[in-house]
Homo-oligomer: A and B are copies of this chain.
């Protein structure tokens, strides 16, 4: 019995034989030499690191300087906004509008005395590369500049596009109707990101193959060419403008906070965060669980004391810190209940915080 044959699809090819790049090198000429087989409508996927190297977008690590310290300084310089932080790890919004760990500054695949920044304008880099390849080989290709990003909630990195030219970043199916008559509401496919991912399957993190070519994809060159700008989602459209564990910039680390375990340490951390967040409410408080407290439903009880005499002003300050801490605890998944103490006549006991099992 014979069945259908192998249907035509797309193919993804590595481009081996490229040299180690340095500032001022002609990337397009090197690609043209290594891939003279490039054809119209091929998509050239280039690792951003190669682009940054030829464009000289490097930071030199001075002799005697700690590489990690230099990296943190470089991250500072590239950062518009810290989105989340845990210990030395910072997820930041870069000047380009990308949200990425360490501003995309990777310390691998570069000499030990240098760090590579993201390209200054990777869309422009992609356009230049596209134009030069047309000059050199007479072919009209599209270009994707790729970088390796992590993402929330999923372990493992994937390559995404941070620059593009000659193809649409998003393919829009909105308003189209499927074969069942359902109108597609929200489907815009980030095709350049899928191309970057496909390219990574034949490149290598170790092998120094910074370029791949995808052949066989059908697409239309957009006019005007907005590159990867349509991918940037910040401002009102962003549901995750801040990593919750790092709501407060001054909170240096949340590594000590064991989720779903350790009520007291969670409370400690939340109050520390709240105090740091609210310097306009100076409050000194003590808290600790009463021994032999009798909550029978598996929750923890933390008694909150105010060191200063109870007055309306100190109560307001204490309340501010408690409120901020409770919201932080809720965001971390704890069920909370606050029971104010019944009397305030000079007593230093301000209230009791009940911390329940995970709020799920």
Interface residues of A in 250-274 (CB under 8 A from B): 257-260, 274
Residues in B with CB closer than 8 Å to A246 are 239
CA distance A81 to B242 in the complex (A): 19
Complex interface bits, A215-254 against B, C-beta within 8 A gives 1, otherwise 0: 0010000000000001111111111111111111000000
The reply to whether the CB of A305 lies closer than 8 angstroms to some CB of chain B is no
The reply to whether the CB of A165 lies closer than 8 angstroms to some CB of chain B is no
B326 touches A340 (CB 8 A): no
Interface residues of A in 165-206 (CB under 8 A from B): 169-170, 173, 176, 178-182, 184, 186-191, 193-195, 197-198, 200-202, 205-206
The reply to whether the CB of A122 lies closer than 8 angstroms to some CB of chain B is no
The reply to whether the CB of A311 lies closer than 8 angstroms to some CB of chain B is yes
A34 touches B333 (CB 8 A): no
B12 touches A187 (CB 8 A): no
Q: Which residue of B lies closest to A184 (CB)?
A: B108
Given known A-B contacts A179-B206, A180-B112, A187-B157, A3 and B244 have beta carbons under 8 A apart: no
A188 touches B319 (CB 8 A): no
The reply to whether the CB of A51 lies closer than 8 angstroms to some CB of chain B is no
Copies of the protein in its oligomer: 2
CA distance A313 to B342 in the complex (A): 9
Given known A-B contacts A37-B3, A243-B239, A9 and B99 have beta carbons under 8 A apart: no
Given known A-B contacts A13-B7, A243-B240, A322-B319, A156 and B36 have beta carbons under 8 A apart: no
Stretch from A124-132, A275-283, A286-294 at the B interface: A275-283
Q: How far is the CB of A71 from chain B (nearest CB, A)?
A: 11
The reply to whether the CB of A296 lies closer than 8 angstroms to some CB of chain B is no
B188 touches A152 (CB 8 A): no
Residues in B with CB closer than 8 Å to A91 are 239
Looking at the complex, which one of B189, B259, B323 makes contact with A158 (CB distance below 8 Å)? Answer: B189
Q: How far is the CB of A136 from chain B (nearest CB, A)?
A: 12
Residues in B with CB closer than 8 Å to A181 are 112
Residues in B with CB closer than 8 Å to A19 are none
Residues in B with CB closer than 8 Å to A112 are 180-182
Looking at the complex, which one of B156, B247, B338 makes contact with A327 (CB distance below 8 Å)? Answer: B247
Q: Which residue of B lies closest to A230 (CB)?
A: B155
CA distance A45 to B325 in the complex (A): 46
> Hey, which bits of chain A sit against chain B, CB under 8 A?
1-17, 33-37, 80-81, 84, 86, 91, 93, 98-99, 107-112, 148, 151-160, 169-170, 173, 176, 178-182, 184, 186-191, 193-195, 197-198, 200-202, 205-206, 208, 212, 214, 217, 230-248, 257-260, 274, 277-278, 280-281, 310-313, 315-324, 326-328, 330-333, 337-340, 344, 350-351, 360
25 cross-chain CB contacts under 8 A = A2-B36, A3-B36, A7-B15, A10-B12, A84-B239, A99-B152, A108-B187, A109-B180, A110-B182, A112-B180, A112-B182, A155-B190, A156-B230, A157-B189, A158-B189, A176-B206, A236-B257, A241-B244, A241-B245, A241-B332, A310-B312, A313-B315, A315-B315, A317-B319, A320-B320
